[in-house]
Amino acid sequence: MPSVFAEIIADFQEWPIPRPTPREVELPSLPGKVDAVVGMRRSGKTWFLFQKIHELLKEGVARERILYVNFEDERLLPLRAADLADLPEALYARYPEVMGQECWLFLDEIQNVDGWERFVRRMVDTTRFRCVVTGSSSRLLSREIATALRGRALSTEILPFGFREHLRHAGLGVPDRWPPSQQERAVLRHQLGLFLQHGGFPEVQGLADELRVRVLRNYVDVVLLRDVIERHGISNTTALRWIVRRLLRSPGSLLSGHRLHNELRSQGVRLGKDGLHEILGCLEEVFLLFLVPIHSASVKRQRVNPRKCYLVDTALAGTVSFLGHGDVGHLLENAVYLELRRRGHECRYVVTRSGYEVDFLAVPPSGPPRLVQVCADPEAPGTRDRELRAAREAAEELRMPEVTVVTLDTEDTLSMDGTTVRLVPAWTWLARRPW
């Protein structure tokens, strides 16, 4: 393999590295640790590697000390783990001056090489190489990349574009001053509508509606076939596809395993409860959806209560139904969850003693937890009183002084029995990234 690696290194040095839309994600890049970039297929992991390479070059790291290898390159087939030892040697042979200096290895789709983790661990433990790895194949799901390295890796999750990244990709950016001008507000409102409907998968940005839906359906099909059916040996594909369509159709809804099982039976689809929970676990494992439990100190209560289901991207809901105005609230709630996840918050939903629900108790990596309610149109009859009462009761029970209510376009600040309730338009909350 030395000659093949030498060819790949030479090609990389002359290759114009693509300049992707910058993602608002940072790698920990700790010495002695491997960075594992994880996420659903087509969410932009490879392009994020290109972004990191550009950042290193801007910091003054010589290109000779950087190497990107895509292990889906046909020249590397077949490849054994023992062959990987030739990779750093080929780099030193071409650039002997970098020997002993800190170098960067970006290993894309590394799971295609059996036993790759031993090579990566050795590089981190015994050399000055910094390693960044990604993987999407059913042979090794992206969540397992870090696990395979046995404590030597830190995972960084890549989701489809957030609203700020959506604006940047469209060439608009975020206003420098707030509040924005009337024209800027109009642009933000319009882009929010597009973002909720079209989602954030990079490849589908700007595509016509029909083509975008076809591409997104293909994403889902590939994940189900390669990562769920083939990988886990799910034989009841009828039940799997029914469950996926059901969940894609109702983002932000409460998901009861018992109720879902009864729905399957009523449709004549045979699936045991254990099989149902196995499928739900697989769908979470491949990043297609996320399940959020109720807030409770009791583990048993968390298990027996329904969980709320959120999709990895709001546009996936449009692959199974035509979304109208009535669905905007669910899409907005899903978008808020994804943004909280991007910011590193752990989320639970809250049910007050009176039975009112608040969408998120968001706990950040550091700092105080936050209560976040999503209400697309608080001016709708009966909606304002219900949502505000839920927010006030949750704040009182959890002894929190403030609640944020994310709306489509309403802005206000209220004081309710000592609780501050801030109504914030989604185009502001998503674009400014408060907290």
Query: Can you give the residue ranges of every domain in the chain?
Result: 2-157, 192-432
Per-residue b or e along 318-342, where b marks 16 or more CB atoms closer than 10 Å to that residue's CB: bbbeebeeebbbbbbbbbbbbbbbb
Residue with the two structure tokens 């087509």: 42
Q: Is the dihedral of CA 42, 44, 45, 49 positive or negative?
A: positive
Is residue 325 pLDDT above 50, yes or no? no
Considering only 72-76, 163-167, 320-324, 415-419, which range has the smallest mean pLDDT? 320-324
Is residue 322 pLDDT above 60, yes or no? no
Per-residue b or e along 51-71, where b marks 16 or more CB atoms closer than 10 Å to that residue's CB: bbbeebeeeebeeebbbbbbb
Is residue 145 pLDDT above 90, yes or no? no
The two tokens of residue 128 are 């000055």
Considering only 114-118, 159-163, 292-296, 342-346, which range has the smallest mean pLDDT? 114-118
Q: Is the dihedral of CA 78, 81, 82, 86 positive or negative?
A: positive
Per-residue pLDDT tens for 14-44? 999 999 999 999 999 998 999 999 999 999 9
Mean pLDDT over 401-419 rounds to 94
- Residue 151's pLDDT is 84
Is residue 394 pLDDT above 60, yes or no? yes
Mean pLDDT over 284-291 rounds to 94
- Residue 149's pLDDT is 85
Residues 314/404, Cβ–Cβ less than 8 Å: no
For domain 2-157, give its CATH number from 2.70.150.10, 3.40.50.300, 3.40.190.10, 3.60.21.10: 3.40.50.300
Residue 413's CB: how many other CB atoms inside 10 A? 10
The two tokens of residue 325 are 């105005």
Is residue 78 pLDDT above 50, yes or no? yes
Q: Residue 206: which H helix or E strand, with range?
A: none
Mean pLDDT over 290-304 rounds to 94
Q: What is the DSSP letter of 307?
A: E
- Residue 324's pLDDT is 43
User: What does pTM read for this prediction?
Assistant: 0.94
Residue 424 φ/ψ, nearest 5 degrees:
-125, 130
Residue 311 φ/ψ, nearest 5 degrees:
-90, 155
Total residues found in the chain within this entry:
435
Nearest alpha carbon to residue 43 among 331, 272, 315? 315
**Mean pLDDT rounded to a whole number for the chain:** 93
